[in-house]
Each structure stands twice: as structure tokens, then as C-alpha cells.
């Protein structure tokens, strides 16, 4: 993810950055990253293998397969440390904030349009600059999964690399309690 101060919308500096929560009063859950792969802010997050039991927190992981259950987009907490390229990452065993409902800024990985259904490009699902697609870039199928309940905001067409907002409600059943 580029440094937010360097992101642009067309030729105008972006007012948002990948993973920015645009509706902070809407539901957000926190999950523990079970994967050795760090999770960037502003990428889709999948349900992990461990559900909540005996007071333990539920796990999440990066999206890696068409069959993964999508929880929602990861958020960027302003207090989160960034790496040397200014990418905030949630390492293994760290809490990952995940937006369940509302509006989040992401970086379009391909041309998208307002009202388009949000698709996840599985092969690029860990890269916040490439993971977000729509039906304009290809149909749902092998390697492209729908983020059910989420659409792109606005009424224009936005090029790859543009900071755009997505809005919706995750179809995931939320946290599992057993």
C-alpha cells in the first residue's frame, strides 16, 4: 500500500487511505491473525480455523482460496506501527480490526465503477493495491470471488490505483460462539 500522503485520486491528493473506516459507528470485529503471513490494512480477511471457545478470540487469515469465508475488509488503526514502506501490517497473533458493516476506503486493483459488486482477486488478495476488483475486470469464478453484500460507492468509473470507498454488510455469520 502506498504511503497515504502519496496516494492520489486522479491528480488530486486522496482524502482517504486503504483501510480507513469511513463509518466508525458501524460494527467492527477484531480477530487474531493465525497466519505466518502478515495482513495489511485495506485487504479482505477470511475466517480462520479456530472459533471462539472458552474465552479465546476467533482467528482470521489472509484470503487464499475461492472457498474462504470472507469476514470483511481489514481496517487501519492510526496507532498501528507501519513497516519501512509505511504499510501497517498485522503480524501473526496480532488483533486485526475487520469492518462488518459500513463504508471503508480501499485501493482499486482494476477499473471499477460506482454500484459495481466488490470482487476479490484471490491471487492478489494480500496486496492492498491489487486485491479489489469488480465484474468489469472479469466474472466470478476461479480466482475471483464476490464479497457478498458489498458495492463500490460513487457514480463514476475509477481506474486501478484509485482510492475508492466500498460499502455494505458482510454476509459472514460474524463471530462464532460455541
| Sequence ranges of the domains in the chain | 4-169
Q: Give the chain's length.
A: 178
Q: What is the DSSP string of 111-130?
A: -EETTPEEEEEGGGTT-TTT
H helices, E strands: number in the chain: 0, 16
Residue-level pLDDT at 61:
95
Residue-level pLDDT at 35:
95
> Of the ranges 20-24, 79-83, 166-170, which one carries the lowest mean pLDDT score?
79-83
Q: What is the dihedral sign for C-alpha 112, 118, 122, 125?
A: positive
Q: What is the pLDDT of residues 82-130, one digit of tens each?
A: 555 667 889 999 999 999 999 999 999 999 999 999 999 999 999 999 9
Average pLDDT, the chain: 84
> Which H helix or E strand runs over 61?
strand 59-62
Look at the block and give the residue holding cell 514502506.
85
Q: What is the pLDDT of residues 51-60, one digit of tens each?
A: 655 556 689 9
Amino acid at each position: 500500500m502506498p504511503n497515504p500522503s502519496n496516494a492520489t485520486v486522479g491528480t488530486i491528493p486522496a482524502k482517504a487511505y486503504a483501510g480507513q473506516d469511513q463509518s466508525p459507528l458501524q460494527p467492527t470485529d477484531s480477530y487474531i491473525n493465525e497466519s505466518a503471513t502478515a495482513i495489511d490494512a485495506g485487504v479482505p480477511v477470511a475466517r480462520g480455523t479456530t472459533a471462539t471457545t472458552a474465552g479465546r478470540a476467533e482467528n482470521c487469515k489472509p484470503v487464499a482460496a475461492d472457498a474462504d469465508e470472507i469476514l470483511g475488509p481489514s481496517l487501519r488503526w492510526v496507532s498501528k506501527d507501519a513497516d519501512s514502506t509505511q504499510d501497517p501490517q498485522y503480524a501473526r497473533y496480532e488483533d486485526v480490526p475487520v469492518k462488518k458493516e459500513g463504508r471503508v476506503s480501499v485501493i482499486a486493483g482494476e477499473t471499477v465503477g460506482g454500484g459495481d459488486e466488490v470482487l476479490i482477486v484471490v491471487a492478489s488478495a494480500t496486496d492492498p493495491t491489487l486485491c479489489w476488483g469488480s465484474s468489469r475486470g472479469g466474472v466470478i469464478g476461479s480466482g475471483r470471488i464476490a464479497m457478498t453484500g458489498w458495492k463500490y460507492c460513487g457514480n463514476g468509473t475509477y481506474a486501478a490505483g484509485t482510492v475508492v470507498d466500498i460499502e455494505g454488510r458482510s454476509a459472514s455469520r460474524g463471530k462464532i460462539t460455541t
